[in-house]
Amino acid sequence: MKKEFAVIGLGTFGSSVCKELYNLGNEVLAIDMDEENVREVMNNSSYATVVNATDQESLESLGIQNFDYAVVSIGENIQQSILCTLILKEMGVKNVWVKAKNEKHHKILEKIGADRIIHPEQEIGIRVANQLDSGKITDYIELSKDYSIIEVVATKRMSNHSLVNLDIRAKFGCTILAIKREENVNISPLPDDTILKGDILVVMGHIKDLKRFEDKGV
String of DSSP letters for 120-135: HHHHHHHHHHHHHH-S
Identify which of 215, 199, 204, 214 has the alpha carbon closest to the alpha carbon of residue 160: 199
- Beta carbons of 195 and 163 less than 8 angstroms apart: yes
> Taking the chain, what is the end-to-end CA distance rounded to the nearest angstrom?
38
| Cα–Cα distance measured from residue 150 to residue 148, given in angstroms and rounded to the nearest whole number | 7
Q: Which residues pair with 50 in a beta bridge?
A: 32
CA–CA dist 211, 172 (Å, integer): 9
Tens digit of each residue's pLDDT, the chain (218 residues): 678 999 999 998 999 999 999 998 999 999 999 999 999 999 999 999 999 999 999 999 999 999 999 999 996 789 999 999 999 999 999 999 999 988 899 999 999 999 999 888 777 777 677 666 656 667 778 788 788 888 888 888 888 999 999 888 889 999 999 999 988 889 888 989 999 988 999 999 998 898 888 877 66
Domain range summary for the chain, segments of one domain joined by + = 4-118, 123-217
**What size, in residues, is the chain?**
218
Predicted TM-score (pTM) of this structure = 0.66
Q: Does domain 4-118 have CATH number 1.20.1730.10?
A: no
Region 123-217: CATH code? 3.30.70.1450
Other residues' Cβ atoms within 10 Å of the Cβ of residue 131: 16
